[in-house]
């Protein structure tokens, strides 16, 4: 038997994902700023690409929070 869809704590989980992703983004940007002259172009490009994916994820998480908030009002 399938579990019923329980969305009660989805917003909490999404907010935690947002916080974690923001922290990772800031940490990576700080790393780039501090060690830019010491890392290879390849490593810098990889970190920058990952940060772009993080920014995309943040936008998606925020949209999901809005969606969950709208569903919880129904």
Q: Domain spans of the chain?
A: 14-32+40-73
- For the CA atoms of the chain, what is the radius of gyration? 17
pLDDT at position 6 is 67
pLDDT at position 73 is 66
In the chain, how long is the greatest CA-to-CA distance?
Answer: 57
Q: If you count them, how many residues does the chain have?
A: 74
- One digit per residue, pLDDT tens: the chain, 74 residues? 777 666 778 889 999 999 999 999 999 999 999 999 999 999 999 999 999 999 999 999 999 999 988 877 66
Phi, psi of 27 (to 5 degrees): -65, -45
User: What pTM value is reported for the model?
Assistant: 0.83
pLDDT at position 5 is 64
């Amino acid at each position: 038997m399938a579990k019923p869809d329980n969305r009660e704590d989805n917003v909490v989980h999404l907010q935690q994902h947002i916080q974690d992703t923001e922290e990772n983004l800031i940490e990576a940007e700080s790393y780039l700023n501090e060690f830019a002259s010491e890392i290879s172009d390849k490593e810098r490009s990889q970190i920058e690409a990952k940060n772009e994916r993080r920014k995309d994820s943040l936008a998606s998480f925020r949209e999901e929070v809005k969606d969950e908030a709208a569903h919880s009002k129904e």
